[in-house]
Amino acid sequence: MSLNVEQLQQEVEFQLSQLDFPKQPESLYDPLRYMLSLGGKRMRPILVLLANNLFGGKMEQAMPAALGLEVFHNFTLLHDDIMDKAPLRRGNSTVHEKWNGNIAILSGDAMFVKSCQLITQTHSAAMPDVMNLFLKTALEVCEGQQLDMDFETRETVDVDEYIEMIKLKTAVLVGACLGIGAQIAGATEEEVKHAYDFGVNLGVAFQLQDDILDVYGDEQKFGKQVGGDIIANKKTFLLLTALKNASGETASKLQHWLNYQGDDNLTKVNAIKEIYAALHVKQSAETKMNDLYSEALSHLDALPIDQNRTTALRKLSSMLMLRES
Amino acid sequence: MSLNVEQLQQEVEFQLSQLDFPKQPESLYDPLRYMLSLGGKRMRPILVLLANNLFGGKMEQAMPAALGLEVFHNFTLLHDDIMDKAPLRRGNSTVHEKWNGNIAILSGDAMFVKSCQLITQTHSAAMPDVMNLFLKTALEVCEGQQLDMDFETRETVDVDEYIEMIKLKTAVLVGACLGIGAQIAGATEEEVKHAYDFGVNLGVAFQLQDDILDVYGDEQKFGKQVGGDIIANKKTFLLLTALKNASGETASKLQHWLNYQGDDNLTKVNAIKEIYAALHVKQSAETKMNDLYSEALSHLDALPIDQNRTTALRKLSSMLMLRES
């Protein structure tokens, strides 16, 4: 059966709305309901369902884990928002702003428990493997978030360390979605590994594209201020590549703008973009991104299944890689 | 085989010290190691092992879950300390004081994942039931902590609501330790239920004793300032019972001291203790505590097993109920 991504998205949205949380205590469960109501692309559960379908699994068997992974993803957003002191999430107040920090910590904890409960609803033959991959991934996501925070205060960060950080912080969860979908369908260990590796490589590529869009995106389509990473001196792939490749006067100029304390952000953004252009930083990022995307697709190619089954997943990946927001 | 509580404690301590956490990122895993090194009575894992032994289970089969429950307990302490802004935990700096709030949130999350991973090491026949009871309990513990925070700002709290809160916040975890130990040993559903109910009742009784010791304990043996709950107007079983039973002049006096803004804590403590004495509040608490303890023991009596096997558990419970600290 071939699956339509938009239909899957609607189905996931409906199933999420049907999740049953206790009424009391309101101050614990209202933030959970709120987080899940803020929307999003629901990419993770859709990837679980597509991977499951790839190996002939039934959608209803993969749905609890698919929802569990979406709930887990939202739990990480909830706690990350506290740590980042973020005021907004998808254009709405974050939980710690709308309620308070304590409620955000605790409802996040409850959300994590809820995600585990959904995972345990997986049929018993697959459950142990699914749970192991899920928990291994959850721990790696914590490691990635910690590295991200560590990098903020570190003097120097290597480009490879950055790739490792985004791999842990975001890509392994994409990989786990694919791997878990495959596990639930009863795929072999090798097939699960290919599905997982497809997801991890896609996830890193996706994150690099985020870095690129933050500088070169169309403000209208991107939906947030272009250049935000530059203004904040965020150690992205672009900045780290520039720091690695700059020398002489270019290096001094770059350092000057990184130390800049003024408020003429537009001039800063343009100056750093000029340095990026001189150092071909955008091309470096695009090359890396395309390599990762190819690597991802090679894992689909390697699957010993009818390649027609991979069409929906390939279409979705290419949409994700061509996105402008 | 009869088990010796001190030997079990040593074994648990040793096994905890053998838990293997990754070296990196240090800022994620050092706080975990630190929390687990602060000691404690290790009552929860010991209860898992004793319950497992009650039904003839092998200790090594119950050890991963026993450790998982101790790690989970320490995760709840870590996050509770942030919410309570507590400076000290077992005489040492809390994680959010020694490191910072963000690190405390994230290392707590990682600690929770780690506890789930330990639970999944349970042998496959018992794992699904153990995981279900564990996750149900974890969610209830979040609910209990939320109710506890809600009560702080609520005008009135009913004694029964208070009992329900401490049941969720601390007693269900004690119940889960007993139930999970029984599940791992392959006990019947009815046996698991009795073990669980024994634990829940014991847990509530234990918490009531904490309330009593905070007012009537021997400062030297109790290890913390006696009267702390009174000074903080903490809504304990004692205060809520006094508020329920006081009338006329006694009610006015009580209200006066609850509104007292001065710093003569000793006079406040003594005044409230006088009110408690007039209202026989200590006796009410002791009666409730003893009823719960009897109820707990009745669940051991009801077990269709050689009652000699219950000796270690009875001895430990009576030690817990006679404790002075």
Q: Identify from B19, B80, B103, B106 which residue to disrupt to test chain A contact, counting A C-beta atoms within 10 A and taking the largest count.
A: B106
Instruction: Give the pLDDT confidence score for residue A1 in this predicted structure.
Output: 58
Residue pair B117/B134 in contact by the 8 Å Cβ criterion: no
Instruction: Give the pLDDT confidence score for residue A121 in this predicted structure.
Output: 98
The residues on A that touch B, with CB distances below 8 Å, are: 22, 24-25, 27-28, 79, 82-83, 102-103, 105-110, 112-114, 116-117, 120, 124, 127-128, 131-132, 135-136, 138-139, 142-143, 145-147, 149-150
Residue % of chain B over a pLDDT of 70: 98
As a whole number, the mean pLDDT across chain B is 95
Chain B hits for A25, Cβ within 8 Å:
143, 146-147, 150
CB-based contacts of B200: which residues, under 8 Å, 6+ apart? B167, B171, B172, B174, B175
Query: Measured in Å, how far apart are chain B's first and last C-alpha atoms?
Result: 30
Q: How far is A312 from chain B (nearest CA, A)?
A: 33
Q: How far is B207 from chain A (nearest CA, A)?
A: 21
Q: Would you call A102 and B116 a contact, using CB atoms and an 8 Å cutoff?
A: no
Chain B hits for A28, Cβ within 8 Å:
142-143, 146
Closest partner CB to A124 (pick from B83, B128, B143): B128
Average the pLDDT over B85-112 and give the result: 96
Instruction: Give the pLDDT confidence score for residue B160 in this predicted structure.
Output: 97
pLDDT above 90 for B219: no
Structure tokens at B180: 């999970």
User: In a 3-state reduction of DSSP, which class is residue A2?
Assistant: coil
Q: Which residues of chain A have pLDDT under 50?
A: none
Phi, psi for B88 (deg, rounded to 5): -125, 145
- Closest C-alpha among A153, A172, A175 to residue A163: A172
Q: Identify from A120, A146, A149, A150 which residue to disrupt to test chain B contact, counting B C-beta atoms within 10 A and taking the largest count.
A: A146
pTM reported for the whole predicted model:
0.96
Cα separation, A164 vs A158, in Å, equals 10
Instruction: Give the pLDDT confidence score for residue B3 in this predicted structure.
Output: 79
Q: Would you call B139 and A106 a contact, using CB atoms and an 8 Å cutoff?
A: no
Chain A hits for B138, Cβ within 8 Å:
113, 116
Give me the half-sphere count of Cα atoms (radius 13 Å) on the Cβ side of residue A55: 27
Return the number of other C-beta atoms located less than 10 Å from residue A105's C-beta: 24
Residue % of chain B over a pLDDT of 90: 93
Instruction: Give the pLDDT confidence score for residue A219 in this predicted structure.
Output: 75
Return the number of other C-beta atoms located less than 10 Å from residue A202's C-beta: 27
- Distance from the Cα of residue B305 to its chain's centroid: 27
pLDDT above 80 for B230: yes
Chain B hits for A127, Cβ within 8 Å:
128
Which residue in chain B has the smallest CA separation from A111?
B139
Instruction: Give the pLDDT confidence score for residue B179 in this predicted structure.
Output: 98
Q: In this structure, are strands B88-89 and B92-93 parallel, antiparallel, or unpaired?
A: antiparallel
Q: Identify from A106, A129, A157 which residue to disrupt to test chain B contact, counting B C-beta atoms within 10 A and taking the largest count.
A: A106
Residue-wise pLDDT tens digits, B133-176: 999 999 999 999 999 999 999 999 999 999 999 999 999 999 99
Q: Identify from A102, A115, A127, A148 which residue to disrupt to test chain B contact, counting B C-beta atoms within 10 A and taking the largest count.
A: A102
Instruction: Give the pLDDT confidence score for residue B262 in this predicted structure.
Output: 93
Structure tokens at A178: 């694919």
Instruction: Give the pLDDT confidence score for residue B1 in this predicted structure.
Output: 58
- Give chain A's length: 325
pLDDT bin (cut points 50, 70, 90) of residue B222 is low
Instruction: Give the pLDDT confidence score for residue A223 in this predicted structure.
Output: 63
Instruction: Give the pLDDT confidence score for residue A3 in this predicted structure.
Output: 78
Encoded amino acid at A200, one letter: V
User: In a 3-state reduction of DSSP, which class is residue A41?
Assistant: coil
Cβ pairs A/B, distance under 8 A: 109
Tokens 């609803």 appear where?
A: A121
Cα separation, B19 vs B212, in Å, equals 36
pLDDT bin (cut points 50, 70, 90) of residue B304 is very high
Q: Would you call B139 and A114 a contact, using CB atoms and an 8 Å cutoff?
A: yes
Cα separation, B231 vs A163, in Å, equals 53
Which residue in chain B has the smallest CA separation from A82?
B102
Q: A213 vs A74, A205, A219, A226, A237, CA distance in Å?
A: 23, 12, 9, 8, 12
Instruction: Give per-residue burial for A137-147: e unless 16+ CB within 10 Å, then b.
Output: bbbbbbbbbbb
* CATH 1.10.12.10 fits domain A5-322: no
* B262-B268-B269 Cα angle (round to 5): 140
